[in-house]
Amino acid sequence: MGKPKPHLEFVGVDLQSGWETPPGYPPGFTQKILASDIDEQAKKGSRTRLLRIAPGAYSTEPFVHDHWEEVFLVQGDLVVGNDAQGRGGQSSQAFTYACRPPGVRHGPFTSRDGCLLYEIHYYETSGRQK
């Protein structure tokens, strides 16, 4: 694992720049990493990020990962379970929350009007109950 997450004390977050498409995500999905020491190979650490979905952008396959994920819909709409053309699914509006254990299939996702998600990804530590 790399360096530990830094101590950050209410630093400004520039929402206009610094966004990137996460590996394996379709166009229109962008992330801004706020803090991370996650090591997905060693299955340690955590990541805090913002994830944006542009209006009309959609994924076509469910996601599954080996870490915990907590998601808070800060702004806009999020549709879960759309088809391969981005249609259908169940819509949620801000302010809603999800907590997913490792191995849970979720998605595909779209957003009709665009959305902003606050996410925390983390691996279990040896001191926690499973």
Residue 130 domain flag? no
Query: How far is residue 28's CA from residue 37's CA, in Å, rounded to a whole number?
Result: 25
Residue 128 domain flag? no
Token reading at 113: 């009007």
Residue 2 domain flag? no
Per-residue pLDDT of the chain (130 residues; tens, 9 = 90+): 468 899 999 999 999 999 999 999 999 999 999 999 999 999 999 999 999 999 999 999 999 999 999 999 999 999 999 999 999 999 999 999 999 999 999 999 999 999 999 999 999 875 544 4
Domain range holding 58? Answer: 33-119
**Whole-model pTM over 0.85:** yes
Residue 89 domain flag? yes
CATH number, domain containing residue 59: 2.60.120.10
